Every structure is written in structure tokens, then in C-alpha cells.
Amino acid sequence: MTGAASQTQTAGKPGLLPNRVGFRLVAILALCVTAGLSALMLFYSERQRLNIQTNNEEAMRQVTQSVISSLKSVMLAGYADIAQSFADNLKTVDGVSDFRILRVNGDEAFRDNKTIDAVNRYRGDEEFLRRGQTRRVPVLAPNDPNLQQALAQRTIVSFYEQNALGGEQLTFLAPIRFAKECDKCHEEQNGVRGVLKLTTSLDAVNQDIRSTRLDALVILVVSLVLILTVAITLVRRSIVGPIIRVSEAMQAVARGQLSRQVPVFGDDELARVAASFNHMIGDLKRTYQALESEQNKLATIILTAREGIVATDPAGTIILTNPAVSRILDKDPERIRAEGLAGLLDGAALDGERAPGAAQTVEVVEYRDRILNVALTTIVNEAGDSIGSSVLIRDITHEQQLQRRLERLSRTDGLTGLHNRRALAQQLEYEVARASSNADPLSLLMFDIDYFKQFNDRYGHAAGDRVLEVVGRITQATMREVDFCCRYGGEEFVVLLPSTDAAGASALAERLRTAIAREEIEGEPVTVSIGVVSCHDSGCPSGEVLLNRADQALYRAKERGRDRVELAECGQGG
């Protein structure tokens, strides 16, 4: 939390902290500027170094030429004996670390009597006195490449080397050419009399170079500081500031502040980014509000739904339940989540492994004292991968009770409690088919109440209904449990007698007639006329034929005085 708070606090300040865009921009700019200025300063320093060295070489070259000229003047004037003193005095000149006059073999001249003896022999007299102390001083090897180059090219050769102390020094080897005036004392040999070696220390030159480089470094640092200061100011104002404002707005939006807007200044790319961000946030706010509205609707539907709703994640863990589930299953939400999908219906299997999108509906699941309709569906995403399951539970106990009641009412006469004509048609078809396939006898009784119309006219419909109720009750009580009793219509009744032959049917009909005849309504006896038809194992006609033949027998009972039983004539029963 502390780190997050710190980041939140510093987000509002357009600083140049590490991992910030501004810091990276300035760092990149600093690298580029530093690289550019460094390259420029290196180029400048190198040019200055070369200029200083070139100027120093040129100056020393001129000094060398001047020394050679002076030496020639001394020698031509006949003052050869002071040439070595002249050379020794040059060594004390500021900047000259060594000055020597060499013979062509690399030995220092004026240190022995070789030249004096050669001159005296050449002139034929003893004009020049020999030196008392002599010694050979080798300076350069005869095969030294620089010496050989100077002798061969007869030009000044310069080269850089280190002295004994490790310092850098510049040496010039200048050949002393044989002049015509020299033939007074010297015999011409290869056109070169000797070599002038002048060595100068480069400490002063290197100090100048270091000073130049230091000046360049100071200029580099000052320029870099000024450029970076200006760059940081411009970056903070024109780039970092707008980016931070957009970043702060995005953080606010991430926290749910969809009303946040970014100020738009100017018409550059960052301004257009800010304007696009504001437009995007407006669209996002409208979309969020629409989604929130739809979510509220969906939540209202789920919470107020009468059906129980359960949802799981891909692992099968229950993540959503609505109040209806707890009410239907009589379980609290914590228990439902703890028991999971497998224990949702107390052990009733729910197959979670099915084809995605396919719903499994268990039409009748008996759960405790209820009847439930359960639909289990696998939820898939656009790629077809399973992302969970949903269970829809509907309590259909009342519906089932109503359905059964309606089915019963659709098959039952409301006044007598017996089956109605529609139920008779279905049952008669079934019994005829069973009797035919099993070679089993089947009988049918058809009867109606005698003089029912006159009774109804005399005592009213209420009394007539009571007669129908009594006949229905007596019929239900008199017939066997396997018999199918039906009010056929009006005052007509039909009874199906499975597995009953003509004799048994006649006996049952007579017992029914007698039982009804014992009743009185409004002081009037109630009688019925009954027609009996049977089919045996030789075959059974259709239900319509049986009804027609029973009706014919009933008609004969009416004709023969009523309150009697008539069996269908031979050949009519089957």
C-alpha cells in the first residue's frame, strides 16, 4: 500500500523520476546530445592537437634551418673551433633538450681530431691545432633508419620518441649539405658533410594540448547543462505534462471515475491524444451505464425469479445462487456452495459432462415432498470452450398436481364421479385389443334410468341430479375394482367388464339392477334397464360394434317392460 500511495502522490507532479516517460526522453536526448557534442569536441580537440603539433614542428623546422645557416656561417668564417661551443650553447635554449652535430656515421662531431687532421692534410699545412682531449661519442647507429633516410633524401627528417623519463620529445635530423665554399677546407664526399640533430621536449606542447582538451570539456559540460536544462523544461511542459495528465486520467478511470476529462491544449499529437481519450471515456461511460443498467435488470431478474438459478465455474465450483434456490431446496446459500453441484439435489445425479450448449432436463425429479424440473446446461465462450455450467430448477409440484387433477377431470364425470365418455373410448380400445391378443373374454353393460325424463320434469333438475349421483355411487360400489364404470351421457351408463364372459356379466348386471331398485328418491323407486354384450376367445369386434349391440339389448329391455337385464342375442355378442 505504501508503494502504491507513493506512486499516486508523485503521479501529479511532472517530475523526471526513473521509469517515467519524461526521464527516458531526457535520457535519450542527453545521450544523443552528449554523443554529438562529444564527437564535436573530440574532433575539435584532435584538430587543435594536430594544429599545435604542426605549428611546433614547423617552428622547430625553421629553428633547425636557422641553426644550420648559422653553423655554416661560423664554419665558412673559419671559426670551426667554436662550432662545438655553439652547439653546446644551443642546448641551453628553452625548449631544446638536445642539440648535436653528427658525422654521417652517427658519431658526434668536434669530439676528436679526425676532421682537423683531414682538413690539415687537405690544405697541406698545420693551420688548425689538434685537440688535447678526444673521445668518440656515438649518438646514432650508422644504420639508424631515420639517419639513413636523412642522408639518402637530403631533407630534414622528424620523428617522435620517448625520453628516458617517459616524456614525449620531437627530434629533427637535418643533413648539412656540402657547399661550394666548403671545398677550401674539405674534400667533397657524397654531397653531405654531416647531420644536425635537434631534439625538443613536447611537455609544453602536450600541456597546451591538455589545456585545449580541458577547455573543450568545460565547453562540453556547460553546453550539455544548458541544452539539458532547456530540453527538460520543454519536455516537461510540452510532453511530460500532457502525458502525466492522460496517465492520471487513466488511473482515475481505472478506479471508476468515468467523469474524468483531460484538458486539451493546442492542436498537436498530444492534444489529439487527449481529445481522443476524452471521446473514448465518453463512449466508455455510456457503454458502462448501459451495461450497468442491463446488469441491474439481469440481477433483478435473477434475484426475483421464481426458478432457482445456480452457476458454476469451469472447475465445477458454484459461484452464483439466487434466493429461489434456497427456497426451493430449503438450503442456505453457504450449504449449497459447500455441497457443490453433486450434492445440489441430495444425491440426485446431474451430468456435468455433456456436449457444450446441450441442456439436460429431468422432467420429474422427486425431491423431498416436491416435484422439480431441472435443466443443466454447459456454458461456452465464442471459441467453444467450456467456461462453466448453469442449473435452472423449477418447482412444478403444484403444476403436476393441477395436471393430474385436470387429467382426472378430463376423464371423469363431475356429477357421478364415474369415468366420462372420452375415457371410455380410450379404455374400450385398450380392452378390445387386449382381449383380442390374449383370447380373453370381454363384456360390456349399457344401462339407463327408467322414466328419468318424467322424474326430472316432475321433481326438477336437482332431484334428477340426485338420481344420477345415487346411480353412479351404487354402480361404483357394486362393480368390481377391475371394472371400468362410465357415465355415457345423460342418464346412460356403461360398464366394461374385463375377463368376464356372458354368464358372469349377466350376474353382475342383475346384482346392479337389484341394488339400484332398492333406492328411492322423492318417494319414487329408481330402476334401470340393462343391456349386456360379451365377446369370447373366438374373437372380439371393435368397441363401436360392442356399444351398438349393447344398445340394442338395452332397447329390448325397455320394450319388454324396463327394470330388467337383456343379453345380446346369439351372434350379436361376438
Contacts 24+ apart (CB under 8 A), 389-392: 389/311, 389/312, 389/316, 389/341, 389/352, 390/309, 390/310, 390/311, 390/312, 391/308, 391/309, 391/310, 391/311, 391/312, 391/341, 391/344, 391/350, 392/307, 392/308, 392/309
Residue 228 CB burial class (10 angstroms; 0-12, 13-18, ≥19): middle
Q: Are 321 and 337 in contact (CB under 8 A)?
A: yes
Half-sphere exposure of 212 (CA within 13 A, CB side): 19
Q: For residue 520, report the phi and psi dihedrals to the nearest 5 degrees.
A: -135, 140
Cα 62 to Cα 66: distance, rounded to the nearest angstrom: 6
Task: Give the CA distances from residue 536 to residues 134, 195, 574, in Å, rounded to whole numbers and listed in that order.
Answer: 173, 161, 7
pTM for the model:
0.42
Cα 525 to Cα 184: distance, rounded to the nearest angstrom: 195
Contacts of 420 (CB under 8 A, 6+ apart): 410, 411, 412, 413, 486, 487
CA dihedral of residues 547, 553, 556, 561 (deg, nearest 10): -110
| Residue 332: alpha-carbon gap to chain centroid | 36
Could you count the other beta carbons within 10 Å of the beta carbon of residue 329?
A: 23
Cα 87 to Cα 139: distance, rounded to the nearest angstrom: 14
**Is residue 566 among the annotated active site residues?**
no
* Residue among 108, 431, 491, 566 flagged as catalytic: 491
Q: Identify each DSSP E strand in 103-239 by its residue range.
A: 157-162, 168-177, 192-201
| Residue 341: alpha-carbon gap to chain centroid | 29
pLDDT per residue of the chain (574 residues) written in tens, 0 to 9: 444 444 444 444 444 444 566 677 777 877 888 888 788 878 877 787 788 778 777 777 777 777 777 766 666 555 555 666 666 666 666 667 777 888 878 887 777 666 666 666 665 566 665 666 667 878 888 898 988 888 888 888 888 888 777 778 888 888 877 655 555 565 556 667 788 888 887 777 778 878 887 887 888 888 878 887 887 777 777 777 777 777 777 777 777 777 777 777 777 777 787 788 788 888 888 888 888 888 888 888 888 888 888 888 888 888 888 898 888 888 888 888 888 877 888 766 665 444 454 545 556 678 888 888 888 888 888 888 888 888 888 888 877 777 777 777 678 888 998 999 999 999 999 999 888 888 889 999 999 999 999 999 999 999 999 999 999 999 999 999 999 999 998 999 999 999 999 999 999 999 999 999 999 998 889 999 999 999 876 567 888 999 999 999 999 999 999 999 999 864 444 4
DSSP-derived pairing of the beta strands 370-380 and 520-521: unpaired
